[in-house]
Amino acid sequence: MNDKLNKSIVSRDTNFAEWYTSIITKADLVDYSGTKGSIIIRPYGYAIWENIVSVLDKQFKSMGIENIQMPMFIPESLLNIEKDHVEGFAPEVAWVTHGGDEELEERLCIRPTSETLFCEHFKKIVKSYRDLPILYNQWCTIVRWEKTTRPFLRGREILWQEGHTLHTTREEAIEMTLKMFKVYEDFQRDYLALPVIVGEKTEKEKFAGAEKTFTVEAMMYDGVALQNGTSHFFGDHFAKCFGIEFLNRDNKLETPFQTSWGVSTRMMGAIIMTHSDDRGLVLPPKIAPIKVVIIPIGKDNDEVNVALKQVSKQLEDLNITYKIDDSDRSPGFKFAEAEVKGYPIRLEIGPRGLENGTVTLVRRDTLEKEDVILEKAGHFVEVRLVNIQINLYERAKKRRDSMLYFAESYEEMKKINETKPGFIKINWCGDVQCENKIKDEIGIKSRCIPLDDHEPTGKCAVCGKEGKCQVYFGKQY
């Protein structure tokens, strides 16, 4: 096998950051642009994102959520209405100050998120309880002026969706917050094969302006966390700031309750950093743009061509996307490229196998080869795609579980953090001072208070006071 291509990938155990960069560039997911901090998402990368969008968008619509398009500009005065929100976002927004040659009377920021715009709109369109609930979503690009950027993980331009909903009661809004949170968890488990940890953010780490923030925390191959989706309950806080009111059934004015929730292209980073290996990209079949690459060996061989047509037909009948690599390059090069690009399955069709009526099926996740009967190749592909999807999840879960620690004491926490990558769980009194101490001295932030298994089992690991809950800490991207 001509694996020069694979060998151009840095080993992930040697240098994880360089490995990541080589995967995203060699697999043609991303190109760097002359605009610092902004990336080009190339067709192969964008096709993955389109698959993600397509699944989530269908899910949202089935729940009665409607898409809307808001302006990308927020006047400074509008951003300033909610204090916590502006403090949270103003330091990292891009400001438009000129239109053509003229200086603007009021500068505009490019949306870092759109709560303020939605609130302004809600105030205009909501009159009565009959107008509620409002369930809106927006697919768009947001901008955050990050100092250090990394493709998909932290960028100045982020493709995402942001849902914004408005409800008559607190209970209904909390229910919505949790429902969308569950949509994210299910999607990341079932489609992206990510064994995420779900929980609530601490007071310190929640979204600027939210009452509660729920988070989906994924753990990367190197044990570092990636916050991979959040769902916020705002209470009636924003609504009060923006003066949103509705007439209830008794014809009295009330303030509605609000949520927002979002996931972004960051999920692309999570897929790569969870499943891929030193030979290239590994994609969960369910979101892979091309599920199978077929490589004919001996192009001018009639038998091979007949078999190629037969297999193609089988895959089409099963609605499995594939591509045929019949270029002039050597089979070895094609095998290597198929691995770098992360096509879940490679089918090799050659004269030797056909003598026995078989073609060779290679799984990208395990690189296992098997000879399968030509007539049933489509059937085998279908089954293996399911196997790969499951295996990727199980493998990632096993690895993640091996990097979850529990620390009885502050000292133990410190020691684990110094020697082992991963998340460390402790009992916590709920006091922000203890959280700050860990951040300042150990250098890790709280990830979340897990939804399940959060009852305290002892005293706070930091101060020794009564434990209120368990909480995960860990380094993050």
Contact 137, 67 (CB under 8 A): yes
Cα separation, 290 vs 151, in Å, equals 22
Give yes or no for residue 210 binding its own copies (CB under 8 A): no
Stretch binding its own copies (CB under 8 A), from 114-122, 209-217, 271-279, 359-367: 114-122
Q: Residue 242 in 3-state DSSP? A: helix
| Residues in contact with 421: Cβ distance below 8 Å, sequence separation at least 6, in sequence order | 222, 223, 224, 403, 475
Residue type, 381: V
Specify the stretch interacting with its own copies by CB under 8 A; choose among 72-80, 210-218, 370-378, 429-437. Answer: 72-80
Two structure tokens written together for 116: 């303020």
* By CB under 8 A, residue 41 contacts its own copies: yes
Cα distance between residue 396 and residue 374, in whole Å: 32
Least spacing, CB of residue 145 vs its own copies, in Å: 4
How many Å is the maximal CA-CA distance in the chain? 82
Token pair belonging to 67: 């898409």
Q: Which is nearer to its own copies, 94 or 432 (CB)?
A: 94
Please identify, using beta-carbon distances, which residue of 117 and 183 lies nearer to its own copies. 117
Name the segment binding its own copies (CB under 8 A); options: 5-13, 115-123, 181-189, 442-450: 115-123
Q: How far is the CB of 56 from its own copies (least distance, A)?
A: 14
Q: Which of 98, 148, 253, 355 binds its own copies (CB under 8 A)?
A: 98
- Of 34-42, 354-362, 381-389, 398-406, the window that binds its own copies (rule: CB under 8 A) is 34-42
Q: Which one of residues 62, 69, 251, 319 is an interface residue with its own copies (CB under 8 A)?
A: 69
For residues 113 and 160, give the distance between their C-alpha atoms in angstroms, rounded to a whole number: 10
CA-wise closest residue to 188 among 206, 155, 158, 215: 215
Q: Is 101 in the site for its own copies (CB under 8 A)?
A: yes
Q: Please state, as a whole number, how many other Cβ atoms lie within 10 Å of the Cβ of residue 359.
A: 28
Would you tell me how many other CB atoms lie within 10 Å of the CB of residue 394? Answer: 12
Residue from 117, 359, 362, 460 touching its own copies (CB under 8 A): that is 117
Q: Which residues inside 367-406 make contact with its own copies, applying CB under 8 A?
A: none
Which member of 1, 7, 18, 43 binds its own copies (CB under 8 A)?
Answer: 43
189: three-class secondary structure by DSSP: helix
Q: Residue 279 has which token pair?
A: 């030979």
Site residues (CB under 8 A) for its own copies? 31, 33-35, 38-43, 46-47, 49-50, 66-75, 78, 90-101, 107-108, 110, 117, 120-121, 124-125, 136, 140-141, 143, 145, 156-157, 159
